[in-house]
Each structure stands twice: as structure tokens, then as C-alpha cells.
Amino acid sequence: MRKNNRLILLEWAEQSRIDGSKLPQALRLTDSIPSGADWRYFLDKLLLALGALLAVSGVIFFFAYNWDEIGRFSRFALVQGLIVLTLAAVWALGLEKITGKVALLAAGVLVGVLLALVGQTYQTGADTFELFAVWCVLIIPWAFLSRFDLMWLFCLLLLNIAIILYYKTFGGFFSVALGAEQLLWVLFVINTSALLVWEWLVQSGTSSRRSVRWMTRLLATVSGGLITALAIFAVWGDELFNSLPGLVGWIVWMLIAYHWYRKVELDVYVLAIGVLSTVAVSNVTLSRLLFDSLSFNGSFGFLLISLSVIVVSAMGAVWLKRLGSEGQS
Amino acid sequence: MTINYQTALWQRLSEHNLVTGEEPEFTEDSAPWYVRTMLGIAGWVSAIFLLSALFSGIAMIVDSALVAGVLGVIACLLAIVIYRMAKQSDFLAQFGFAISLAGQGLLVFSMLKGLQLFEGGEAFISQVRLLALMLAVLQIILFTTIPNFLHRIWSGIIGIGAITFLLIQLGLYPFTITILLAAVAIVWLQEFKWAKYSSMVQALGYSLVFVCFAHLITDNHVLGFSQFWQETFSVTPLGGAWGSSLAAFLSGGVLIAVVGVMLQRMQLEPMSGKGVAALSLALLIAIIGIRTPGITIGLVFVLLGYAHGNKVLLGIGLVTLVVFLSQFYYQLNFTLLQKSLVLFFSGIALLVIRHLMGVFWSQLESNDA
């Protein structure tokens, strides 16, 4: 795996190939540390993100305080006024600019505050999951308009929360209570669909992959984590009918992820998630075999599992490093 | 192609007389952060199973502090030998990590048993302090003798955690977080100067960052952490009711100092237009940070990470900011109204400054030129 310039230069300095006093100059020459112009760009983005985050958090905290001295009309006027204000900012700035997109995201967050205020004021009796679901539905058109990754991510987060709350309220979906696996399956399908759509968008050239690699990685981590949990449930489960889909789903996920992120679009991070998942599932399977099926003695069984974890993870690391080197060639 | 890349980089630096001697041999990255994280998680799990095997297999360990201690020392020594003999082997490094963690587990068990901590009693507090001291010494030895980044991070976090605990016991709470933040700033700002020991400095820097983050979050999440120290360990917080605010203000001082060093590095006078603007902004954030210390701490990480081209440190800083805000909601020593006002007006102030920066930056540039 190729090191970035910074790490190469630090290593050379450690080997006394670069004098410590000349290191900053070498780092500047190789663009490893920011220039004055870079600082300006960075501070601009940092102040925008931090300012928006603090201001919107302040509004959320304010309405959570539920101040009695402010009447209900004033409260509604305040939150609606803020929504109008942020939308006016969007209109003035335009959605091509990052500031406009951030303003629309802020408006999207404020919609949730408004919905919470409606529930708080009129005691509608609605379940909490409904708030998140309606919130998500209401701001989806804005997500389409803004074409802003963070806005889509926010919608996905709201959807996940709505599903989890629904499950907590009713204990299952469509009047069928099948345990925690059911919730994991639903979340897996939704987040994996989001990953597939994202990959399709990237491949069709709608997004610049370079700037949004973190999105692929985040979605793949969630999707991979959920299917790994399902596979582990499957290995520990006693009923074959319930267990099989989890294992089959995991194998299919691993094969597709391997094909896509190894052959089509190399992404060592996602493959590292796959390796960690393999370490987990293979060793849970080994534990089940040793302690349940073969009734092994505890001590020897633990030792075998420990060695197995070491071997599988180290093999995985060697493979990942080799892939990383290939990716740079 | 990678080798060619390094050669090209070497030649470029050579043309500017920035490098000396022969071009070093090509070395691959030992692993990016996510592969290291994966190995760390796996190593930790394998150590748990290894310890389980030892405890279930050798009944003597459970009975004797001495046997556990001797086995722990042997395991740690074995790990040092493995790491020093096979620096490039992933298999042996992973094996060494598991052996070392198991050895440390045995040593801690031995200490707990030897100090009779399982029995409780009046001497509990002094025994826990002694345990922390021994743990700190053990981790310092392992940090300096084991030449492996992942292991150094582990030793760094546990060792610095133990030292922080001891500082709290000395009555320095709540200033311990400021001390940690200052240490973070010093270590990372000296990264280039101490490049001869780069691998150690980086491991130490990340460990300090992790412990500082953990201190912030536990402090923030568990209401009256000071109360916890007072009730459990009879430690009175330094500075009484004003201690936390003063500590947060001093953390702001660390932020201002970091900005000052960066200005110096960019050869900008503190009294120049940009200098005054940068220091005023840092001062504003330091003031905001009196009520919201996580913002100051997160920003110090972010600035250090960006200034040194370190994306991992930058990312940790951003995560610190977001996690702090989500925890801040539950902090009970301020009302939600107070918190909302601080956050809202701070956010607006930062947006206004951003706008002013857009208007005046080019003007400042021409003045500073």
C-alpha cells in the first residue's frame, strides 16, 4: 500500500535521510502540509459547517426546553420563521453553492423541530416513529433538489430511526413478531439498497467518486455489519429454516462485495470490512462446532479459537496489503 | 509504479538539497488505519480467548497470584522477543499482540489478587492507586520496547489512562483534561522536530488524543464526574465550583497557543491583519468553550490534523465535535435553555465571521503582503 507523502517523508526523517530542520520545507514542497490558500478554503468550510451545526443544535435544544413563558403561537412563529429564513437563504445563495445546500439541510432539520412542536403542543397521540417517518418523507423532495450527500444521509438516518422505533413499539413488522433478526433484515435491506443506488449513481457518472468515497464506505460498513450480525444469529440459531437465510445472505453479500470492490472498483476499506466479518463469522462457527457439536474441552477449544482468529486476521491483513499495492500500480 | 513514485519524490527533494545519502529502500505502508483497526480488534478478541484458555486450563493461575504474575511476565517478554525479531511478519505481529495482551491480563489479575482487591476493605483506594502506578510503569516499558504501532497505541492509551487516573488522585481534577490537551498540542506540534522518533511520537500523539476524548465524553456524560471522584475516592475537585470553568478556559488558552504557533510557522506576525483575525477567532472559540469544552478540544484536534496534513487526526477532531454536541444535550449542570442560547449565538457568530472572512480576506492579504 503506498504511503502518502507525509508518511514517506516522516519515515525518511526517522532514517536521518532528511534533516529535522529541513523537514517542514520538504513537506511544503511536496504539498503535504497546507498553503495559505488551502487554509482559507479550509477555514471557510470549517466555519460554515461548525456555525450551521451549532446554530441548528441551539434551535433543537431551545424547543426541547419547552419554555412555558413563550406561548404556543410564539413558538410556532419562531420555528416557522426560522424555516422561512433558511429557505430565503437557500433562495439567495442558490443550490449550486455549498452554503445553499447547507442552508437547505438546516431547513430540513428545522422541519423535524416543527413536527415535534406540533406533537408537543397538541398531544396528537402519534407514535414517535411516525414523527421520524413523516419528517423523512417531507424532506425527501428537498434532498432531490439539493443533490447534497449529507441531505440524503440525513434522510437515511431518519428512516433507520423510524424503523427501529416502529419495531420497538410493535415488536415486529406486518403483525408478525419474529425477533430481532426481523429488524436486522429490514435495516439490512434498506441500507444495502441505499448502497446499491449510490454505487449505481457513482458508476453512471452522476457523482464524483473521489470526493464522496466516505459515503460508499459508511454505507458498506452499515450493510456489512448488519449482514454479519444476521450470519452470527444464524450460526447460533437452532432452527435451520430461520438460520439459513442469514448465512446465505452473508455469503451472497461477501461474494458480491468481493467482486465489486476487488474486480470492478477497488476499495480496500470495504474489503477490510469483509475480512473482519469473515474473522467474526468463521470463528463463531468454529466455536459452535467445537463447544456444541464436538463437545470440546473448554481450554483447548479456547486456544484453537484464539489461534484461528490470529491466523485468519493476519492472512486477511497480508491480502489487503497486497491489494493495496496493486491498487497503486 | 509505487517504487517509481518514491524515486521521483526522492529526486525532487534531492534537487532542492533536502535529502542526504542514498535513496532508502522501498517500503510498503505497514497498513492504513482501517487495516490496523481490524488487526487490533482481532488481536484483542484472540487475547480474550487465549486468557480464557489459560484460566480454564491451568487452575493454579486462579489460585496463585505468583503463578499468574510469573506467567504474565513470561508472556510479555515473549511478546517483546516476537515483535523485535519479526518486525515485518503480520502473522507473528498478530500472535505477539495476542500474547502480550494475555500477558498483561495475567499481570493485572496477579496484581488484583496480590493486592487483595477482590476482598475489598479499607485499603481499597490506596491499592487501586498502586495498581494504576504499576500499570503505568508496565505500559511505559512495553511502549518503549515493542516497536509496533498497534501495540504502542494500546500501551499508550492504557498507560496515559493510568497516569491520568493518578493525576486525578493527586487532586488535579478537573484540570486533567487541560493537561491532556496541552500534551496533545505539544506532542503533535513537535511531530516534525522529533521526526527522528516519528513512529513513537505518532503513537504517543494518537494515544493522548484518545484518552483526552475519553476524558471529555465520560466527564460530559456522567453527571458530576467530580462527584464520582469525591464519593468513591475522596478526591476534592481542584478549584471547587469554578474549577471546571477555569479548566475549560485554560483549554481555550491551549487553542490560542496552537493558533499562535501556526501563525509563527506561516511567518505571520500576531499583530498583522490575519494574525489579529486568527487570534480573535481563537479567543472567541475559547470563550464559547467555557460552557462547551468539547468544541475547544475538537477544534484543537482539527487544527493540528489539518496543519500537519494528518487526515486521521482531522477526522477524530470532527467526530469529537459531533459526539460532544450529542452528549452535551444530557449534561445537567446547565438548563437546555442556557445550552440552546450558547449554541445558537455561537453558531451565528461563526457564520458571521465566515462571511466577514469572505469579504476581508483579500484585503488582509494585500495589507500583509
- Average confidence (pLDDT) over A13-22: 84
Confidence of residue B13 (pLDDT cuts 50, 70, 90): confident
Residues of A in contact with B28 (CB under 8 A): 1-3, 321, 324-325
Give the pLDDT score at B3.
Answer: 58
Give the pLDDT score at A37.
Answer: 84
Q: Which of A18, A47, A68, A297 to mutate to test binding with chain B, by most B CBs within 10 Å of its CB?
A: A47
Q: Which of A276, A315, A325 sits opposite B2 (nearest CB)?
A: A325
Q: Say whether pLDDT at A328 is over 70.
A: no
- Average confidence (pLDDT) over B36-63: 81
Report pLDDT digits (tens) over A152-181.
Answer: 999 999 999 999 999 888 876 665 555 678
Give the pLDDT score at B298.
Answer: 95
A322 touches chain B (CB under 8 A): no
In a domain, B61, yes or no: yes
Give the count of domains, chain B.
Answer: 1
Give the pLDDT score at B151.
Answer: 93
The domain in which residue B85 lies consists of 24-114
Report pLDDT digits (tens) over B154-165.
Answer: 999 999 999 999
Q: Specify the 3-state DSSP secondary structure of A295.
A: coil
Q: Specify the 3-state DSSP secondary structure of A147.
A: coil
What part of B 222-281 touches A (C-beta under 8 Å)? 265-266
A54/B91 Cβ within 8 A: no
Q: Say whether pLDDT at B174 is over 50.
A: yes
B312 touches chain A (CB under 8 A): no
Report pLDDT digits (tens) over A42-61.
Answer: 999 999 999 999 999 998 88
d(CA A119, CA A115): 6
Instruction: Return the bridge partners of A173, or none.
Output: A176
Q: Specify the 3-state DSSP secondary structure of B141.
A: helix
Report pLDDT digits (tens) over A291-302.
Answer: 776 666 678 888
Residues of B in contact with A52 (CB under 8 A): 347, 351
d(CA B76, CA B74): 6
Give the pLDDT score at B254.
Answer: 96
d(CA A205, CA A246): 33
A62/B336 Cβ within 8 A: yes
Q: Say whether pLDDT at B368 is over 70.
A: no
- pTM value? 0.84
Residue reference for cell 462547551: B292
d(CA B277, CA B283): 10
In a domain, B183, yes or no: no
B344/A62 Cβ within 8 A: yes
Contact status, residue B129 vs residue B143, Cβ threshold 8 Å: no
B350 touches chain A (CB under 8 A): yes
Q: How far is B155 from chain A (nearest CA, A)?
A: 20
Give the pLDDT score at B1.
Answer: 44
Give the pLDDT score at A88.
Answer: 95
Q: How far is B128 from chain A (nearest CA, A)?
A: 30
B351/A55 Cβ within 8 A: yes
Report pLDDT digits (tens) over B336-361.
Answer: 888 899 899 999 999 998 888 887 77
What part of A 22-61 touches B (C-beta under 8 Å)? 22-27, 29-30, 32-34, 36, 39-40, 42-44, 46-48, 50-61
- Average confidence (pLDDT) over A214-222: 92
Helices B176-189 and B198-221: angle between axes, nearest 10 degrees: 150
Q: Which of B38, B54, B346 sits opposite A275 (nearest CB)?
A: B38
Contact status, residue B342 vs residue A58, Cβ threshold 8 Å: yes
B341 touches chain A (CB under 8 A): yes
Q: Which of B9, B46, B358 sits opposite A310 (nearest CB)?
A: B46
Report pLDDT digits (tens) over B303-312.
Answer: 999 999 998 9
Q: Which of B3, B36, B87, B94 to mutate to test binding with chain A, by most A CBs within 10 Å of its CB?
A: B94
Q: For all residues of chain B together, what is the average pLDDT?
A: 86
Lowest mean pLDDT among B60-64, B237-241, B282-286: B60-64
Q: Is pLDDT larger for residue B298 or for residue B334?
A: B298
Give the pLDDT score at A271.
Answer: 94
DSSP 8-state assignment for residue B146? -
Give the pLDDT score at A162.
Answer: 94
Give the pLDDT score at B66.
Answer: 86
Give the pLDDT score at A156.
Answer: 96
In a domain, B3, yes or no: no
Lowest mean pLDDT among A111-120, A167-176, A311-320, B180-189: A167-176
In a domain, B333, yes or no: no
Lowest mean pLDDT among A9-23, A303-317, B254-268: A9-23
- Average confidence (pLDDT) over B247-263: 94
Contact status, residue B174 vs residue B219, Cβ threshold 8 Å: yes
Confidence of residue A80 (pLDDT cuts 50, 70, 90): very high
Q: Say whether pLDDT at A131 is over 80.
A: yes
Give the pLDDT score at B230.
Answer: 77
Give the pLDDT score at A329.
Answer: 46
| CA dihedral sign, ordered B125, B130, B133, B138 | negative
In a domain, B145, yes or no: no
Residues of B in contact with A44 (CB under 8 A): 354, 357-358
Q: How far is B170 from chain A (nearest CA, A)?
A: 36
A2 touches chain B (CB under 8 A): yes
Reduced 3-state DSSP string for B6-37: HHHHHHHHHHCCCECCCCCCCCCCCCCHHHHH
In a domain, B9, yes or no: no
Residue of B nearest to A52 (CA): B347
Give the pLDDT score at B207.
Answer: 97
The set of residues, in sequence order, having a beta carbon less than 8 Å from that of A72 and lying 6+ positions away, is: A121
With a threshold of 0.85, tell me whether the complex ipTM lies above it: no
Give the pLDDT score at A29.
Answer: 87
Q: Say whether pLDDT at A218 is over 90.
A: yes
Q: For all residues of chain A together, what is the average pLDDT?
A: 86
Q: Which of B11, B262, B295, B340 to mutate to test binding with chain A, by most A CBs within 10 Å of its CB?
A: B340
Q: Is pLDDT larger for residue A11 or for residue B120?
A: A11
What part of A 272-311 touches B (C-beta under 8 Å)? 272, 275-276, 279, 283, 298-303, 305-307, 309-311
B306 touches chain A (CB under 8 A): yes
A179 touches chain B (CB under 8 A): no
Q: How far is B13 from chain A (nearest CA, A)?
A: 7
Q: Say whether pLDDT at A266 is over 80.
A: yes
CB atoms within 10 A of CB B359: 8
Q: Say whether pLDDT at B224 is over 60.
A: no
Confidence of residue B89 (pLDDT cuts 50, 70, 90): confident
- Average confidence (pLDDT) over A131-151: 93
Confidence of residue A264 (pLDDT cuts 50, 70, 90): confident
Q: Is pLDDT larger for residue B2 or for residue B308?
A: B308
Give the pLDDT score at A240.
Answer: 60
Residues of A in contact with B93 (CB under 8 A): 314
Compute CA distances A144 → A67, A136, A141, whole Å: 35, 12, 5
Report pLDDT digits (tens) over A177-213.
Answer: 556 788 899 999 999 999 999 988 888 876 565 566 8
Residues of A in contact with B49 (CB under 8 A): 302-303, 305-306, 309
B62 touches chain A (CB under 8 A): no
d(CA A132, CA A116): 9
In a domain, B63, yes or no: yes
